[in-house]
Structure 1
Amino acid sequence: MSWLFVLLQQLKQFILPLIVLLMFGRGDRNELWPLIGVAALVVLSLWQYFTYRYGVAGDRLVIRSGLFERSLRVIPFARIHNVALQQSALHRVFGVAEVRLESAGGSKPEAQMRVLRLDDALALEALVRHRGATDSAIANETESATLLALSFGDVVRLGLVSNRGLVVVAAAFATLVQISQRTVLDAFRSVGTWLFGFAGEHQFGLLHYAISALALVVFAIAVLRGFSILLALLQYHGFRLSQTGRRLTVERGLLARWRTSASRRRIQAWTLREGTLHRLLKRRSLEVDTAVAEDQQQQRALRELAPIATPAACDALIEHLLPRAGWTQLQWRPLPPSNWWRLVLPVVAPVCAIAIAAWWRLGPWGLLVLAWLPWAAFVAYRRAQRMAYATNAVVIAVREGWWTRHWRFAELDKLQALQLTRSPLDRRCGTATLHLDTAGSGAVAPPLRVRFLPHQDALALYASLSRTLARRPLRW
């Protein structure tokens, strides 16, 4: 049944335009001629897929593809850094899986097997794990041990703290606009006319309008959170982080299942997050950057070690995976809080521009927008009070944020470059910023940098880290 999955994969990018063409196309049905092109692409892709072969030759994987235009690819097992298995609902029905073999660098996986029997896929994953490791690592490999498992309540909390519902609504709205912009505008116009007509008939006062607006906001938030919880259940149901020897594996998903694994030494940097709702629920999240090729399909990479967990569980996970780092015993060095005004500067110009526009439209009442500046200054001051960094013989860590917080850290052996910069404000204030670069910078991860360091302290830290990096080999 491999042809079925290839056919569906090819039709994904054409199904929406074809539906639009069928439902909203004008003229006669001769407009269906694009179906000929789609059929030709499907036949071509099937032809290429059925000529795809892979095999094992010693310590490497050999892949052949093509008939008239042939391709031979040889991939050493030691080069493969991550093995990702995906099972859609259809995959699970037929007991098959899609496998991606990823390496550091590049924008595409080293190899992609779109349809393999599940037992063959798991066997290939084990083969890569054993052939890519050293003999001593294989000898020390033990049975799989569960490091973290999310319960149903944890997944619901994850949906509450995330904004995935907003992404779903925005995608649905964009799709509707692409299909028929006039239909969407007519729907908004009809709802608005009905609401204002209903309010006019019942002679609502200012208080009623305020209560109605508040009710609509609460309803919208509830709907968005409901979508977020539903999406979290689909993506993170049955989440399990396990360890086999030095390799970490994550399995998750309700209808579609994802299984991805990577060696512990491929982790380049760590991010510990604590948002507003995280703090209310007494939870955090732990993410990592791995040295693998990352494209737009981010969900397949080993990125979230703990999507949501208690602070104690996150600390225990870090201590287990970084036993020499002494995470809970780090000595944090605060940065000068006198630089708080530099954190509020980016907010001043937009707030003033909005206030001027509001004053132009609403008169003196529009200047109330400026009331946001004292709050922004207070938040900046509290952020500056919490900014700190810590370093020892194993790791360097930075913490930032106040009500929404994050900790960013990396092992010194993973640092690839150091950069010391001074902006005009830095020179004026006698400070500098130290940037630290690793191989696996995440697309949404905060930068690993130490800001507002006194210049002499920055030079000393830069010199100390430079000597350490010069002595130690880079552990890829």
Structure 2
Amino acid sequence: MSSEGYAALPSTEEVPWKRLSAKAPLAALVPLSATIGRMLLTALLPTYFAGERGLPTVLWIIMVGIAGILLAAGLYEVATLSYRVVGAQLEIRSGVFTRSSRFIEAARVQNTEVLQPFVSKLLGLVEVKVETASGGKADGHLRGLTPEDAQALIHALQSVRGEGAAVLLPGESSPEERVLSEARLGDLLLYGATALGVGVLAVVLSALHEITETFHKLLLPWMETHWEVMAAPGMGWLAATVAALAGLFGLWLVSGARAVLRFHGFRLVDTGTHLRAVGGLITRRQVTVRRVRIQQVVLDEPLLRRALGFGSVEVETAGVRTGKEASERAELLIPVVPTARMPELLREFVPDLPGAIGSLPLRPAHPKALLRARIRAVGLSVLVAAPATWFWGGWGALAWGLLPAQLLGAWFDWRFQGWFITDTLVVVRQGFWRRRTTVVQRARIQSVRARQGPLERGYGIGHVRIDVAGSHVVLPSVGWAEAQSLIDQLPGRRPARRVRPVPDATPLQQVP
């Protein structure tokens, strides 16, 4: 929990403020420049419509001046930022034009993240992010700490919470820690090759476009020389196959490179009260999560990865960052976990789970939910195939082949959905092509909502949405009466908090 605009509680001893390292502005130069560059990128779009003339010189001067002012202000803020731990609070003072003071209660800290980008590593510095349950970006981001100051800060926050875990930085290890999971280079390449998303496709297509535009003069002679061979009768299928394989290889290459950059040397260890994950090639990232703060665990098992015998595990606490994809929100993301080891690893995160996930008596989705899924599948197929047939005739009519595929997929998704409730947990399994099994701590549930769509109202069914801090999960469709009963049933009893004794004080005089 953080707040601004309130004065710190008085302390018996004045604690001095600490500054970042003198080299902190150098470490912040690259990330600040990248941030400012993204902000001003939209200003460069008119150059595409300005023809050969480009932008006027005056606009270039204004843009460069704004970028320089923003960069100077950011570097000055880093150079003047100060912090200290007083009592049970972390205080951070920063700002150039607007002075701000943040107060973060140590008891509210969900996890700490230690980063060491390439430039910071060269300078011998690290970054520390302190996250609470507020969501969004980190409440406290100290960029440019020496390793000693970073260890002292994390140790001070842990001491307030009564935790005595050893404070380690990326690359360090302790003989007492227990290794729970590791990722080898081959595993990461396989993980990347099976994670072909829209973002990767966009990167590859953009790269191919730029290469074609830049080197078309070099490619054109080769194309003129070999075009007759490629265009010969019976060779068209070969050209299409080669192009498809080249594109697929490009996707695999980019996705595999991203996985290696993010998770190289990944290692998840148990320190007793905390879980610590370290990984990354250029930017070394270490996340420390308190076991007692875990609110949700997700097993991500797409069909291709299940066939290859592995999946991924996402661990979230109340400090989850909202507004991103699930894999980015998770505090701990274990990229490669063999299917045979998933029950063992899941029990490390959720000791209350009664048996393996595959052996739980999951309740299926309501039978009428299948009819609803089929109607949606038919509607989606018609929405795609009808315009395709209108514009491309016979070739577009091939899109009607989506209809049986969509109906089959709807049946598989309905068939393999399920849910199960214990005294302390809620288990939800969804999807077949990308199966995701979510385990939620009932004590961490923030709210429960039952909803009915137009089709659901006609069939007398509904769905239940469970909200936790920064995330949510939806149960498979159930009868409407049961959905309403789950609203009061699902929230679990929260553990009682210890109440600190309040010192005797003179009662306030009432004002008449």
- Give the TM-score category using the shorter length: 0.7 to 0.9
Q: Corresponding residue for 2:362? A: 332
Structure 1 residue aligned with 2:315, among 254, 263, 288?
A: 288
Q: Look up the SS of the partner of 1:451 in the other structure.
A: coil
User: What's the CA shift for 1:458?
Assistant: 3.3
Matched, 1:99 2:131: no
Unaligned runs of 5+ in 2: 1-22, 167-173, 498-512
Structure 2 residue aligned with 1:378, among 396, 405, 408?
A: 408
Q: Corresponding residue for 2:10? A: none
Deviation digits for residues 171-205 of structure 1, max 9, x if unmatched? 4766998xx9xx97787899799869954566522
- Counting aligned pairs with the same residue, the percent is 26
Distance 1:348 1:85 in 2: 49
User: What's the CA shift for 1:74?
Assistant: 2.9
Distance 2:35 2:205 in 1: 19
Q: Corresponding residue for 2:67? A: 38
Deviation digits for residues 88-141 of structure 1, max 9, x if unmatched? 111111211111111111533222111011232233223322323468x99xx9
User: What's the CA shift for 1:251?
Assistant: 0.7
Matches within 5 A, 1:20-31: 31=60
Matches within 5 A, 1:154-303: 154-163=187-196, 167-168=199-200, 170-171=202-203, 198-199=226-227, 203-205=231-233, 207-292=234-319, 294=321, 302-303=330-331
Distance 2:445 2:393 in 1: 54
Distance 1:423 1:302 in 2: 30
CA gap of 1:102–1:219, structure 2 versus 1, over 3 A, is same
User: What's the CA shift for 1:302?
Assistant: 5.0
Task: Decide whether the 8 Å contact of 2:36 with 2:70 is kept in 1.
Answer: no
Q: Look up the SS of the partner of 1:346 in the other structure.
A: helix
Computed over aligned residues only, the root mean square deviation of the Cα atoms, in angstroms, reads 3.7
Query: Counterpart amino acid of 1:418?
Result: V
Deviation digits for residues 364-414 of structure 1, max 9, x if unmatched? 454332222122212211222212111111211111222321112201111
Matched, 1:321 2:353: no
Q: Look up the SS of the partner of 2:476 in the other structure.
A: strand
Unaligned runs of 5+ in 1: 442-446
Query: Counterpart amino acid of 1:75?
Result: I
CA gap of 1:352–1:246, structure 2 versus 1, over 3 A, is same
Distance 1:47 1:368 in 2: 61
Q: Corresponding residue for 1:444? A: none
What number of residue pairs does the alignment pair up?
A: 457
Matched, 1:394 2:424: yes
Scaled by the length of structure 2, what TM-score is found? Answer: 0.78
Distance 1:295 1:323 in 2: 27
Q: Corresponding residue for 1:85? A: 114
Distance 2:67 2:405 in 1: 57
Scaled by the length of structure 1, what TM-score is found? Answer: 0.83
Distance 2:214 2:180 in 1: 52
Distance 2:432 2:131 in 1: 37
Distance 1:30 1:464 in 2: 62
Deviation digits for residues 345-364 of structure 1, max 9, x if unmatched? 33323422433333334434
Distance 1:172 1:474 in 2: 53
Distance 1:142 1:93 in 2: 27
Distance 1:114 1:461 in 2: 45
User: What's the CA shift for 1:235?
Assistant: 0.8
Distance 1:410 1:307 in 2: 20
Distance 2:361 2:54 in 1: 66
CA gap of 1:172–1:366, structure 2 versus 1, over 3 A, is closer
Query: Counterpart amino acid of 2:372?
Result: R
Q: Look up the SS of the partner of 1:215 in the other structure.
A: helix
Distance 1:67 1:13 in 2: 18
CA gap of 1:37–1:339, structure 2 versus 1, over 3 A, is closer
Q: Corresponding residue for 2:28? A: 6
Task: Decide whether the 8 Å contact of 2:300 with 2:311 is kept in 1.
Answer: yes
Q: Which moved more, 1:66-75 or 1:390-399?
A: 66-75
